[in-house]
Chain A
Amino acid sequence: MAQPAETLSSGDPKTGNAGYMDKETPKPFGGTVDDAEIAKFAAMAEEWWDPDGKFKPLHKFNPVRIAFIRDRICAHFDRDPLAPEPLKGLSILDIGCGGGLLCEPLTRLGAEVTGIDATERSVHVAAAHAEQMGLEIDYRFTSVEDLAAGEKRFDAVMNMEVVEHVANVDTFLGASADLVAPGGMMFLATLNRTAKSFALAIVGAEYVLGWLPRGTHDWKKFVKPSELAAALRPAGMELTELTGVAYNPIRDEWSLTPKDLAVNYMGIAERR
């Protein structure tokens, strides 16, 4: 039975990420898991994947960020975004994969996807769901730093809704950049540190609308685009595009707002 609701919300409900500030010792994910454990994780996966559940904002946001990722990867690697399996043959790493809300679509689009998360539970949940869906995804309970110590490099690295939760943006982005293969790219999505983001993302989303549990975000940890650029530059990466993302309450949809980066925004970095 599903009962770990309170534990899921202890981290970031958008990514299920307990956060890289936790000094948990990363352990390799794998080994034997008994049937009761699998059933428990499958039940938790249902919660993750319920479009009306506690991850509702992420479900709403998902189509717009997937379209952005698909279109920009296809432009970068010269592919047709509307073709079947447009990402076929590309390796993608999703950092802070949570229940796999981004990993699964990218896999269906043809990519070979690795998802990592610093919360062991999330990785089990994501693996249980992928199994039900018949998708092959390499989920690992590990940290960016440990993965970077290995050989594997990726055509595209996803840092979606993660940097606003890490302890040190510079070292985290430095290690993430190491994981990008030559000619590859990195996608970022985060919240800007502005008066507007305080009003909307903290007061609005957590206190007025109740979209997210209170305390989900710490406004002081929000990241300005200039800070992303400064953290990526020493690692040899340059921000090449930034776009805002805004919610339209009338249409109940998110859409890109290329000129308004004041709250949620996404960016792309490429190797110089």
Chain B
Amino acid sequence: MTERVDVGIVGGGMVGAGLACALATAGLRVALVDREAQDMQTVPAYDGRASAIAYGSAQVLKGIGVWKHLEADASPIWDIRVVDGHVLDGISPLFLHYDHTDIGDDPFGYIVENRATRVALHKRCTELETLTLHAPVNVTSVQAGPGFSTIEIEDGEPIQAAVVIAADGKFSTLRDWMGIKVTGWRYDQTSIVCTVKHALPHNGVAVELFLPSGPFAMLPMTGDRSNIVWSERSDLARGFAELDDAAFLAELKTRFGDWLGDIELVGPRFTYPLSLQHAETYIGDRFAMVGDAAHAVHPIAGQGLNMGLRDIAAMAEVLVDAKRLGLDLGAASVLRRYEKWRRFDNVLLSAVMDGLTRLFSNDVAPVRLARDIGLAAVNKTPPVKRFLMRHAMGVVGELPRLIRGEAL
């Protein structure tokens, strides 16, 4: 029997599964298709990263019933320190300090291991009656017809959906099939990601240290641990990643400092090359893209997953509103509302991320002085600082209901 659903989602990672949960929570019939079995994604070697989930993104996860499975693993960020530093000179005295009490009682966001987010999403998927999971399966084609699109599956029944959404990541196959081009470039930078345990509590302070070869972030996790995102020139990163544990830890300590006491490595190290890309359009014939398939940014300010969660909030609202008006969910007029809502925001944020990377990833003395003064100036200008803080929290712009903390 061919399954007929409102929305077919191809790609069951954090953004795809999150969108499926959002739509099914509002009663839409959703088929979630992934090439891997869900439990493959939660083995410790699959993804060692942690994500900064901004306040607005946490609201989204609450609204779609995922947060309750995640809360215990979320470490709140109460302060953010943005510091310009140098490995030999130490930390510049001019720095930017965001304290959450400047704008209210809520934390800026939370640091959550991606593995925990995936486990929570998978639990939520099983609670939803209108969500069907097809995994592990291979999608062989997606054909847009006049009344619906058909997702053909290898060795399985096809799925008919009013709209097909690609959440199949940075190297999206569906995007290629649709002939949608991307613009972007690789940075000569690679991120080394690892987790450390420290002797002293971090008190919910996140530190972003801008070193000449790339940003170095210390993100507070549960249980006196911090997630390190250490970006380096690619050739150097390869060298660091290949060091034995003792030598690697010694290099890490020269950057991390001793403000949290003695540190030890816990768990494996991962490396991710950095790139930026943006699709020239987010939509096609009965087709739309969310998350990294549409836009992949440098993780310099932890915005990748947050951009994906904002896509989810906007897409879910557009489709739920259309469903409640009896409109064709695959109609161009419906999908355009999503693209119009998200594309400007994402392009702007990508440009800001790119600018930050270029501004902070160099060691030219005048540039260094200018950015130190810049950080200090922002620190002394409360309205600018509040705006940047609210932006970091993901609560700027015309917000979807889920981000405002309302029901879909």
Contacts and interface: CB of A to CB of B under 8 A. Distances in A.
A107 B333 contact: no
Given A51-B331, A51-B332, A84-B27, A66 B147 contact: no
Interface string A68-90: 00100000000001101000000
Contacts of B331: 49, 51
Given A133-B147, A134-B147, A51 B333 contact: yes
A208 interface: no
A66 B147 CA distance: 21
B25 to A, nearest CB: 13
A109 B147 contact: no
Contact of B325 (A63, A84, A134): A63
Interface residues of B, number: 14
A7 B223 CA distance: 73
Interface in B305-364: 321, 324-328, 331-333, 336
Contacts of A84: 27
Contacts of B326: 66, 70, 104-109
Contact of B328 (A70, A81, A106, A133): A133
Interface string A94-118: 0000000000111111000000000
A134 B148 CA distance: 9
A32 interface: no
Contacts of A134: 147-148
A67 B324 CA distance: 8
Nearest to A46: B146
Contacts of A59: 333
Contacts of A67: 325
Contacts of A3: none
Nearest to A108: B326
Which secondary structure dominates chain B's binding surface?
Answer: loop
A42 interface: yes
A59 B328 CA distance: 12
B325 A66 contact: yes
Contacts of B321: 63
Interface in B121-155: 146-148
A14 B201 CA distance: 67
A190 to B, nearest CB: 22
Contacts of A107: 326
A132 interface: yes
Contacts of B327: 62-63, 66, 105, 108
B324 A82 contact: yes
Contacts of B147: 132-134
A241 B117 CA distance: 49
Nearest to A82: B324
A51 B330 CA distance: 12
Interface in A42-64: 42, 46, 49, 51-52, 59-60, 62-63
Contacts of B148: 134
Interface string B204-233: 000000000000000000000000000000
A73 to B, nearest CB: 12
Instruction: Among A42, A59, A62, A84, find the residue whose CB has the most chain B CB atoms closer than 10 A.
Output: A84
Given A51-B332, A59-B333, A105 B146 contact: no
A107 B324 CA distance: 12
A2 to B, nearest CB: 14
B368 to A, nearest CB: 43
Nearest to A56: B333
Residue among A49, A67, A108, A133 with the most chain B CB within 10 A?
A: A108
A108 B333 CA distance: 17
Interface string B169-200: 00000000000000000000000000000000
Nearest to B26: A82
Contacts of A63: 321, 325, 327
A57 to B, nearest CB: 12
Contact of B146 (A42, A51, A70, A81): A42
Nearest to A107: B326
Given A133-B147, A134-B147, A70 B332 contact: no
Interface in A132-181: 132-134
Nearest to B321: A63
A63 B331 CA distance: 13
Contacts of A105: 325-327
Contacts of A133: 146-147, 328
B328 A104 contact: yes
Contacts of A60: 333
Nearest to A67: B325
Contacts of A52: 332
Nearest to B325: A66
Given A63-B321, A66-B327, 11 more contacts: A42-B146, A46-B146, A49-B331, A51-B332, A66-B325, A104-B326, A104-B328, A108-B326, A109-B326, A133-B147, A133-B328
Interface of B: 27, 146-148, 321, 324-328, 331-333, 336
Top 8 A-B pairs ranked by shortest CB distance?
A105-B326, A108-B326, A51-B333, A109-B326, A132-B146, A132-B147, A133-B147, A66-B325
7 contacts: A63-B325, A66-B325, A70-B324, A108-B327, A109-B325, A109-B326, A134-B147
